[in-house]
Amino acid sequence: MNLSTSATAPTAKVIILIKTAKASEVVPPKFPKQQFSRLKRKDEICADMNKRLMNITTFLLAICFLNCTHPETSVLSSSEPNFHQAETQPDFTAKVIRIVDGDTLEVMYGELPVMIRLAHIDCPEIRSSQPFGKKAKQTLSDLCFGQNIEVEYTGDKDRNGRYICVIYNQNGLNLNKEMMKRGMAWHYKKYSTDKEYERLEEEARQSKIGLWADPDPTPPWQWRK
């Protein structure tokens, strides 16, 4: 009897331990309340981000739809100025904000800076210190810097992306022609067949005005070579 009792007792203990171990495996882990709060906060952040992404996607789709159906009012349209071929009336008014040289200036058209190249003329180069280059720049500056000028766009741009234009200062003076009259430019015959500019160059040459005081000035298109 003593042998039988001592043999069965350990077995019962083993069975109880095994059952207890198996039962503990299925008990869900207990997290602190603070950790549950962090997990909940992460879920809220993810939901908020998804909502924002959905709003952005909806907005972009609406813009694309507007751009396709109403291009004239599209917010995706180019910021390039809406120039039209000039005929008898100036195309637009803009403020001169920078003088680059005798035949190039920058204007502010609305909120858009636009680089303009004066049509029909070619002035001495300032970057390579051509004679009368600085004088031509100063002359153009005196005529229009800081002013609201009227611009006639010819419909062309040069290889540098500058708009080829005829400009008028606040006194209504045609500055392309005025630069010719003051002997600050050549008639750019490679790109202009306007006889008026040819005549103005000849008059300035005969009167030895400006750069024509030099008996044999070098044209800028040759100076640039």
The residues carrying an active-site annotation are 117, 125, 162
* Exposure b/e, 130-160, CB count within 10 A at least 16 = b: bebbebbbebbeebbbebebbbbbbeeeeee
CB atoms within 10 A of CB 107: 25
Q: Which residue has the tokens 């490679």?
A: 190
- Nearest residue to 197 (alpha-carbon basis) of 177, 213, 182, 174: 177
- Nearest residue to 136 (alpha-carbon basis) of 171, 169, 183, 170: 183
